[in-house]
Structure 1
Amino acid sequence: MAITFTDKWIEAQKPTGTRQEIADAATKGLYLFIYPSGVKSWVYRYRTSEGLRKMVLGTYPKDSIKKARADAGNAKDLRTGEQPKDPIAERKERARLTAEAEREKRRLEQVEAAKEQRLFQPMVERYLKEHAKARRSYVEKARLLGLFGDDSDWEIRPGSPVAKWGKCSIDRPALEWREDVRSFGKKQVAAGTGYLANRTFAELRGMFNWMHRNDILIPSPLLNMDVPFKGGETERERTLLNETERGTFGDELRWLWLASDTEPVFGPWIKILILTGMRQAKEVAAMTWEQIDQSDPEKPFWLIPDTAAKNGKPHRVALSVEAMEVLEGRGDRQGAQRVCLHHDRRHTDHSGRQAQEADRRLDAHYRREGTRRAG
């Protein structure tokens, strides 16, 4: 017997030991199946040349009476339309097409992700991680290519290769790479930084050669290219002057020390460089209070970890009274913070605007001090 379904009536129905099949009086072919487990399902029943078929539409109460009747009506329309179709076969075809569309979407996302990884900046980061990180020149390699700071959150140095080509595909035509790299080097030479141009070119060539060796990009587009600056590099002959040798100029190291007093950010850094003889990039710039041992107040020392030491081994540096005074005067007692350098990481980029301005101020004060002492 058919029943006109209502929520109150359906909720009152209890399961029995067998499956109950109850027809809806309002919609031909719609049934409510009540299983011994208590589950209540909507089913659309219809006949084909192959016999009686049952199409599950959903469950109650998740799917309402109104929705079940609408779904049953749609199934009937498919069977009785101008081009009759089997509702079950049609649903399977829609599911198949949806699955294919999802697979194609995932495939395209993977293609885009692969393209993203073949852009210049992600490839630079991969080169630094897989090839350069274990090398002593890691920080310098990153700087030449255009990255500085924390390798988990790199910052881009303006005017660098990464700033210029970061979003370019490494798969672009070799001639385009050669023309761009050649033009980049010429601009560096024209700006008076020929040595920097050669070192930047050497790092770019090294990275492309690494890609060639690892079958990432074959061949290297920079193969057989000449360095941009033909002047070559000469060994430094400049030494500090001492008034015993050049009486008219005085003690330059003393002038630099006095000039450093005028720089609250970079001054302490310069003094620690003078007092310890350590390197500025990976050692002094990364010094923390956790690395300073004052267990013996008379003999404090700085233990440089292997990750910052040039030779990759922990290194112990004695700290003089003067060095401790500089650190105490500028230091940040938070263990994870640098003690001799401004906390803004951009200040560790030696080609940054702040460093260049400080360099000009130091040079001017240094020259004034030298002129005054010489006079």
Structure 2
Amino acid sequence: MLTDTAIRKAKPKEKPYKVSDSQGLYLLVNPRGSKLWRVKYRMNGVERKLALGSYPEITLAEARSARDAARRQLAHSIDPNFVKRQERIEAGIRASNSFSSVAQELIEKKAREGMAEPTLAKMRWFVKLLGSDYGKRPVAEITPQELLHELRKHERRGRLETANLLRAFASRVFRYAVATARAERDPAQLLIGALTTPRVKHFPAITDAVTFGALLRAIEDYQGDPAVMHALKLTPHVFQRPGEIRHMEWTEVDFGKAVWIIPEGKMKMRQPHSVPLSRQSLAILTNMRTLSGSGRYVFPSIRSRTRPISENTINAALRRMGYPKEQMTAHGFRTSASSLLNESGKWNPDAIERALAHMVAGSVRRIYNQSAYWTERVEMAQWWSDYLDELREGGNR
């Protein structure tokens, strides 16, 4: 049996030599003076060695404890070297993966799976909101208290919805980290109920026909970037989601069939959506084609034609026209259209819902709605654009 005194007295020789303890544990003394703990064992009839570390970093007592742990693994037919190798791999993975890198990996995975670009952009935005310092933290070391500290910053500024969305996003990142052996738990899950729940807010919208007509006249008089001008004019006619409009591509527009086909990757409900185009919509797009038809996007950014107009462009234009965010938003055009179309009493509510690309419960009914209401939707699109023209001219029917 070894003692600390015997270990200290073990001097290096010309060749490595062993100083045995018991039950396979020994100390390997090298010519240069290093003293390394080893455990000799047999697995499936084959002799193997397990490295435990060096003396004095690993004491005699610690070496014996590690030997005993290895013997318990062997008793259950578990190879200690395999366990150590797995632990080393997992430790390396944890140490080299920050929250931001894991989040980016998750975003790339979702992109390959077809997640809509607006949703991916929002996930990237969430990573930025959590901050660069937080993003550099090893994902396995982040505590619930640490995450709550970051979320409270947004809560104190009145951004209650943002704080809750950030918690939910962080939870997705942590769950992905657990699934890929970079973390052992989801600290964001433990914060459910810790944040203030925001009251549900509906997008501000103008639903009065006369007031909406005044808005249309303001849009007609708007002066600015041509892409923004045309996007503003088209939005009331097609009343699709702002992200879908600003990401519209020329390859999605069929002028011959008068239809805009939005691919499923851009749709919130992950289903392709066809939008009938009225004569007025086609005229707006025809004018825009002379300006951006050689590029990818119908409404390119003024800074780079390889990117669409920014997320807040339409809202910013509404503000410049004198419409505060409490009165009208880019998303509010959908509410305006839904309200005025339903008030007209001319159209089947299901056709209106389908035009808005709202999800219909039940796969059979969903398929039915996609086909059965197309003719009505085409008629409705033209009626709606004609109605908008009348409102813009100051009428109201």
| TM-score of the superposed pair, with normalisation by structure 2 | 0.48
Say which is worse superposed, 206-215 or 255-264, in terms of deviation: 255-264
C-alpha deviation, 1:169, in angstroms: 2.2
Say which is worse superposed, 199-208 or 302-311, in terms of deviation: 302-311
Amino acid at match of 1:286: H
Identity, % of aligned positions: 16
1:186–1:252: structure 2 CA closer, same or farther, 3 Å change rule? farther
C-alpha deviation, 1:184, in angstroms: 2.5
1:252–1:263: structure 2 CA closer, same or farther, 3 Å change rule? farther
What does the per-residue CA deviation read over 1:214-267, in whole Å, with 9 as the maximum and x for residues that have no partner? 4331012323114564143325284424256xxxx5645425634655553433
1:190–1:143: structure 2 CA closer, same or farther, 3 Å change rule? same
Are residue 168 (structure 1) and residue 130 (structure 2) matched? no
> 1 CA distance for matches of 2:155 and 2:228?
28
Amino acid at match of 1:181: L
Are residue 321 (structure 1) and residue 279 (structure 2) matched? yes
> For the Cα contact (< 8 Å) 1:145–1:161, is it kept in 2?
no
Amino acid at match of 1:339: V
What does the per-residue CA deviation read over 1:325-373, in whole Å, with 9 as the maximum and x for residues that have no partner? 32233341225x201232637765536xx67754532445999xxxxx9
C-alpha deviation, 1:204, in angstroms: 1.0
Figure out how many residues of one structure are paired with residues of the other and give that number. 235
Per the alignment, residue 120 of structure 1 pairs with 99
| TM-score of the superposed pair, with normalisation by structure 1 | 0.51
> 2 CA distance for matches of 1:346 and 1:264?
15
C-alpha deviation, 1:206, in angstroms: 2.2
> 1 CA distance for matches of 2:146 and 2:181?
23
Per the alignment, residue 334 of structure 1 pairs with 294
**Residue number among 268, 277, 286 corresponding to 2:239 in the alignment:** 277
> 2 CA distance for matches of 1:138 and 1:267?
23
Amino acid at match of 1:278: Q
> 1 CA distance for matches of 2:164 and 2:115?
19
**Residue number among 227, 251, 258 corresponding to 1:290 in the alignment:** 251
What does the per-residue CA deviation read over 1:298-330, in whole Å, with 9 as the maximum and x for residues that have no partner? x42222223223343433222222222322333
Amino acid at match of 1:288: E
Per the alignment, residue 218 of structure 1 pairs with 184
**Residue number among 99, 114, 118 corresponding to 1:139 in the alignment:** 118
> For the Cα contact (< 8 Å) 2:250–2:293, is it kept in 1?
yes
> 2 CA distance for matches of 1:329 and 1:232?
43
C-alpha deviation, 1:289, in angstroms: 1.8
> 1 CA distance for matches of 2:202 and 2:182?
39
> 2 CA distance for matches of 1:308 and 1:237?
21
Per the alignment, residue 91 of structure 1 pairs with none
**Residue number among 257, 265, 268 corresponding to 2:219 in the alignment:** 257
Q: Look up the SS of the partner of 1:203 in the other structure.
A: helix
1:142–1:205: structure 2 CA closer, same or farther, 3 Å change rule? farther
Return 5+ residue gaps in structure 2 as ranges: 1-88, 328-393
**Which of the pair has more CA radius of gyration?**
1
Return 5+ residue gaps in structure 1 as ranges: 1-109, 148-155, 368-372
1:187–1:346: structure 2 CA closer, same or farther, 3 Å change rule? farther
**Residue number among 249, 258, 261 corresponding to 1:300 in the alignment:** 258
Between 1 and 2, higher relative CO (CA 8 Å, sep ≥ 6) is seen in 2
> For the Cα contact (< 8 Å) 2:260–2:275, is it kept in 1?
yes
